[in-house]
Amino acid sequence: MTRVRDTAVGLVAVYGGLSLAVGVLAFLGARWAHTYFITAATGDAVAELGPAFVNTVLLQLGVTVLALTPVMSTLAGVLVGRGIFQPVRSIQVAAVGGFVGTLVFGLVVAALGSLGTAAGSLWTTSYLSVLVAASVLAALTGGIGAAVGGRLA
């Protein structure tokens, strides 16, 4: 049981640390977009198009981050599968870790990215729907990675 607990804590720590790092990059990207498209821009179109461009940049940041989570979950699942010698337990830990880790990852990135600019936000129903879908996919790929990792051990 200690190995399972230590593995789960390690998985949460990796997702947590990585989400903070990517969240800071999302914040900086949002600040850059805000500065480039709104603050430094000139002309009449800035008031209309500037916020749309900033929202586009935020959306792309969010989608890119969520697209990476199944890959992260698969790699983490392979490591979990190699570390826990009970196949069903390793699949469960990797699947739950992938699901919860992706939720944490996406929420931290949304919070920090949205703080980067007053012109846009990732806190939309669409983003949260995609976040839940990415979490489910990450759970599936994490479980598959653990199954494969267990076979490689």
* pLDDT tens, position by position, 130-150: 999 999 999 999 999 999 998
pTM for the predicted model, two decimal places: 0.85
Q: Are 79 and 101 spatial neighbours (Cβ–Cβ below 8 Å)?
A: no
Give the per-residue pLDDT at 76.
Answer: 92
| Residue 4, pLDDT above cutoff 90 | no
Q: Do residues 62 and 127 lie in contact, with contact meaning Cβ atoms separated by under 8 Å?
A: yes
CA gap 47, 41 in Å, rounded: 10
C-beta separation of 141 from 70 below 8 A: yes
Residue-wise pLDDT tens digits, 32-67: 888 887 877 777 777 678 788 888 888 888 888 899
Q: What is the mean pLDDT of the chain?
A: 87
141 burial via Cβ count (<10 Å: 0-12, 13-18, 19+): buried
Structure tokens at 146: 């653990």
Residue 30 pLDDT class (50, 70, 90 cuts) = confident
User: What's the pLDDT at 130?
Assistant: 93
Q: Is the pLDDT of residue 1 over 70?
A: no
Cβ atoms within 10 Å, residue 60: 12
**DSSP 8-state class, residue 123:** -
- Full DSSP string of 44-88: THHHHHHHHHHHHHHHHHHHHHHHHHHHHHHHHHHHHHHH-S-HH
pLDDT of residue 153: 63
* Distance, C-alpha 123 to centroid of its chain: 14
